Amino acid sequence: MLEHWLIELVGHVSGLSEAQLKQIEKSLPATKALVDLLNRARPIIEQAQSLYAEAEPLIDQAKKEWQTVGPAAQILIDVISHHVNRGSSPAEAAETVRAALNGSIESVAQDHLTDREMSCATVFGGTGFVGRRVVRYLREVGTKVRIVSRHQGRAEDDGIERIAGDAHDERCVEAALAGADGAVNAISLYVEHGSDTFHSVHVEAAGKIARAARQAGIRRFVHISGIGANTASPSTYIRSRGEGEAAVQTAFPGAVIVRPAVMFAADDAFLTTILRLMRSLPAYPIFGDGRTRLQPVHADNVAGRSQKFCGRARNRILSTNWPARRSIPTRSCCEPLLVSHDCGQC
C-alpha cells in the first residue's frame, strides 16, 4: 500500500506515467527493498506501540519502587564490595550482609516496641536559628547533646558538649558522631559566599554527614531541608535542597526529611526584616499584589517536631504545615505589623 501510494504521489507531482515510474523503480532496488521492509514492519511497529502503552504505567510504578528500594540496594552493593575488597569471598560477604540485615531488622522491631528516647544526639548547625532550638528540646527530654559548629563556644550546661569543626571534614564528622544514638543536620545556607555554595552545603556536606551517620550506627537521623525542595527546580537554592535530600536518602535510607516553610520567631530574619523596613521606608513593597501565599511556621514548632522525629519516626518526608493548616497572603503577614507600628507599639 505504501509503495503504490508513493508511486501515485510521485506520478501526480511529476506528470510521469505509471510505466515510466515502474522503470525508475527498477533502477532503485535499495529504495524498493526499504519500502517493502517498512510494509512488513508496520504490524510489528503497531504491536510495539500497543505494548508500550501497556508498559508505560508499569514503568512509572517501577520508578517509584526504585526511588524507595534503590538507595538500600546500592548500600548493599557497597557493603558487599567492601567485604570482597578486604579479601572475603562473595559468598562470605553476602552472608555477612544477611546476618547484619537480620540484626538490623530485629533492632528496628525492638526500637518500635520500646520507643526509647535518645541518650546522646549530635546536632550539626546546633548554634543556628533552628539548630539551637533543637538542642533545647533535646535537653528538655534529658538527651545529652553534642553541638557541631565552626566556632568553639561555651556549653550552656553539663549535658551539652561543644565541638568546633567543619561539616566538610569527614574525620571531624565521624568523631562527632561516635557513640551517639541520633543525629540532626540543621546546617543551611541562604547566601553563597566563597567556597560555601548551595551545592557544597546542602548536597555535599549533607551527604557526608548522612553517610558517616550510617557508618557510625546512628539509630535516627533527621535532615532539615526546605519546603518545595525539587531537583528539577530552576532555582539553584531549591534545586540544591532537592539534591541534598536525595543524597541523604541514598546514604541513610531511614532518614527523616523535614521541609519547613518560612519560619518566624522573635529573632528571625523574616518578620523582623519586614518590621525594620517598615520603620525606615515611607512605603513597604510586597510580593506581586500582596496575594502571594505563605504558610509560616514558628521555629520552635519545627525544632520540637524534629526532636520527636529524632526519637521515634523513620523514613519519612514531612512538610511543615503545623500548627497552621492553611496558607495566608503576604499582605496578611504585614498588616498586623503595620498597625502596631502606626500605634507606636513597636
Going by pLDDT thresholds of 50, 70 and 90, the confidence category of residue 137 is very high
Phi and psi torsions of 328, nearest 5° = -135, 150
pLDDT reported for residue 79:
53
Percentage of the residues of the chain whose pLDDT score is greater than 90: 33
pLDDT reported for residue 245:
92
Looking from the CA of 216 toward its CB, the CA atoms found within 13 Å total 26
d(CA 202, CA 225): 8
Q: Are residues 209 and 276 in the same domain?
A: yes
Q: Are residues 181 and 129 in the same domain?
A: yes
pLDDT reported for residue 185:
97
Q: Are residues 88 and 194 in the same domain?
A: no
Neighbouring residues of 144: CB distance < 8 A, sequence distance ≥ 6: 119, 120, 121, 159, 160, 161
Q: Are residues 189 and 322 in the same domain?
A: yes
88 within some domain: yes
By CB atoms closer than 10 A (0-12, 13-18, 19+), residue 54 is: exposed
Q: Give residue-wise pLDDT tens across range 186-243.
A: 999 989 998 899 999 999 999 999 999 999 999 999 999 998 899 999 999 999 999 9
* DSSP H or E run through 129: none
Tell me the CATH number at 307: 3.40.50.720
59 within some domain: no
Mean per-residue pLDDT for 117-140? Answer: 91
Residue 74 pLDDT > 90:
no
pLDDT reported for residue 143:
92
Q: Are residues 281 and 195 in the same domain?
A: yes
Q: Are residues 102 and 163 in the same domain?
A: no
Q: Which of 100-109, 223-232, 269-278, 279-288 has the lowest mean pLDDT?
A: 100-109
Q: Are residues 272 and 238 in the same domain?
A: yes
Number of domains in the chain: 3
Residue that has been written with the C-alpha cell 527546580 in this structure:
233
Q: Give residue-wise pLDDT tens across range 141-187.
A: 999 999 999 877 677 788 999 999 899 999 999 999 999 999 999 99
Residue 14 pLDDT > 70:
no
207, 251 in Cβ contact below 8 A?
yes
pTM of the shown model: 0.61
d(CA 342, CA 336): 10
63 within some domain: no
Q: Which domain, by its residues, includes 144?
A: 118-342
